[in-house]
Each structure stands twice: as structure tokens, then as C-alpha cells.
Amino acid sequence: MIKFTINGKLVQADQGDMLLTVIRREGIDVPSQCHHQAVEPSGACRLCMVEITRQEWDGWSKFVTSCLYPVEDGLMVTTHSAKVIQLRKTIIDLYLARHPNSTEIMRLASEYGVTRTTYETVADGDDCIMCGLCTRICAHMGFSAISTVGRGHDKEIAPPLKEAPTDCTGCLSCANNCPTNFIEFTRDSNSLTIWGRTFETLACSQCGKTTITRDFAEHLSKTRDIPIAYFEVCDDCHRKETAKTMGRVVNWTREVQA
């Protein structure tokens, strides 16, 4: 058990826990864009910076990305000192210049009182902050259908060769977790399109409600040993079927006992 303080309060954590995890557990609001518990931290967005010091550092302190910093005994962490807030404001200022149309960045800026950027605005700046969360999640799910392509200013997230990705299953995990909602997809009555590829979506055999894509269901069925028939009925109808099946059993025992 590791013991240290956050904003003066003594806290405990397990060896190997990252600071941000413990900060969140304590209910303290530190911003982050590239963090997700499902994947390894990457330190890409810099927003989770906090100030750390130790007794023996004699008043000296430093800033670290809390999502990447493992807890240490005796650490003294400050999440909202004037210096940290100033640093966060500078980072937000830069984001605001590069992604002037992102509602998420605007929300963050207004939360930190950054009303406008002091840098030159990138007029054609899109909403992708290049945090790489989508590619890390996709890789962690075993697909690796998308990655960072290009260099410098032209860097972007895309499938290989920018063609419809063959490894994508249309699971939408990238889009659902993109902090700025940049990843677009469209839905039709029986299909969905993402990254330039159109997928057939399954429809419940009872009520017609659409569920996941056929590709995703087949992948799960094959790699995880789940009967494909499970995917043919939606959750609502599965519950109704369960009630009917149990109902028949109960009714049968009733009749036998009568």
C-alpha cells in the first residue's frame, strides 16, 4: 500500500496505480482528453498535468502528466495550485487556436475562463486533437484498423492507405470514445458507414430493432465461441423470450401439482 497526499489529504493506493486514477477516485476534477481506463495511458493531451513535490525537495516542485505518473510513497500532489491552473490555461489556449470550432474545447476553455486564444487561429483546424485514443482502443480490441498517418501539420487518423479499412468491424468504439466527437459515422435502416466502409447491421428477428454489425457479431462468434444465434434477437425480445420460457416451465409445474 502506497501512502501520499493529494491537496493535503492523505490517500492510499496500490503500487502501480497512476496518479490520475487516484485523483479521480477521490472525486477531484482534473481535465483529461486522452485517458481511458481500458487502455494504457499515453500522455498525449497534457491536460492532466498536476504539481508534485516531496518533503526533501525543499520547496522545489515539478509538473507531471498524472495519467502516466505512478503513485509513490511520500509524494505531495497539488491539482489546482495557481501554477497548475496557469499551465492548464496555456494548454487550453493552444488547443483553442488549433481547434477553434470544437465544442468540447470551447467547453473546457470556458470552464477555465479562457475566453479567446492568444495564438494565431488555424482557420481550417478540424476537431481532432490527435490524442490517439481511438487508435489505442481499436488496437486493444484487436482490430488495429486505424492509425496515425502523415507527419507534422498533415498528421491525421485514418485507415491504411486511406482506403475503406478491411480490419474494421464497425464496432463504433473509436467514435463513441473520441473526446471531441470528431469521428463521423452514419446510420441507415440496415447499415452503418464509418471510415468510408459500409457495414450491414443485424436486425432482431422478432421486432426488427437494429443491433451491432454483422461483421462484429461474426467476429465475436468466431473468436469468443458465442453461438451466432444469440445475435439474431435484440435484448428486449431476449427478455420476453426468457419470460415465456420460464412461464411455460412454471405453468407446467402448476398443472402437474393441480
Partner 1 sequence: MNFRFVVNPEVCTGCRTCELACAFAHPHDGKPGKSRIYPIDGGFKELWVPVTCLQCDDAACVKSCLVDALKRNPVTGAIELNREMCVMCMACVAACPFGCALLDPGQDAVVKCDLCGGDPVCAHFCPTKALSYVPIEKKDRIAG
Task: Please report, as ranges, the residues that interact with ligand SF4 according to CB under 6 A.
Answer: 137-138, 143, 145-146, 168-174, 194-195
CA atoms of 226 and 233, how far apart (whole Å): 14
At residue 44, φ and ψ (nearest 5 deg) are -80, -40
Angstrom distances, CA of residue 49 to CA of 7, 8, 66: 14, 17, 6
Nearer to ligand FES, 34 or 234 (CB): 34
Among 13, 45, 183, 202, binds ligand FES (CB under 6 A): 45
Among 81, 90, 144, 211, binds partner 1 (CB under 8 A): 211
Q: Quickly list DSSP for 156-210.
A: EEE-GGGSPPTT-----HHHHH-TT----EEE-SSEEEETTEEEEEEE-TTT--E
List binders of ligand FES among 62-101 (CB under 6 A).
65, 67
Closest separation between CB of residue 137 and ligand SF4, Å? 6
Q: What is the DSSP letter of 127?
A: S
Segment near ligand FES (CB under 6 A), from 21-29, 44-52, 174-182, 231-239?
44-52
Nearer to ligand SF4, 143 or 182 (CB): 143
Residue 47 binds to ligand FES (criterion: CB under 6 A): yes
Closest separation between CB of residue 72 and ligand FES, Å? 17
CA atoms of 228 and 82, how far apart (whole Å): 56
Cell 470551447: give the residue: 106
User: How many helices and strands in the chain, by DSSP H and E?
Assistant: 7, 11
Closest separation between CB of residue 112 and ligand FES, Å? 15
Give how many residues touch partner 1 by CB under 8 A. 43
Beta-strand runs (E) in the chain: 2-6, 9-13, 49-53, 62-65, 76-78, 147-149, 156-158, 185-187, 191-194, 197-203, 210-213
Residue 254 binds to partner 1 (criterion: CB under 8 A): yes
List binders of partner 1 among 231-250 (CB under 8 A).
231, 233-244, 246-248, 250
Closest separation between CB of residue 174 and ligand SF4, Å? 3
Cell 416451465: give the residue: 249
Nearer to ligand SF4, 13 or 172 (CB): 172
Among 13, 44, 202, 217, binds ligand FES (CB under 6 A): 44
Element (H, E) at 110: helix 103-111
Cα angle 166, 167, 170 (rounded to 5 degrees) comes to 95
List binders of ligand FES among 12-41 (CB under 6 A).
32-35
User: Which residues sit at the interface with ligand FES, rule CB under 6 A?
Assistant: 32-35, 43-48, 65, 67
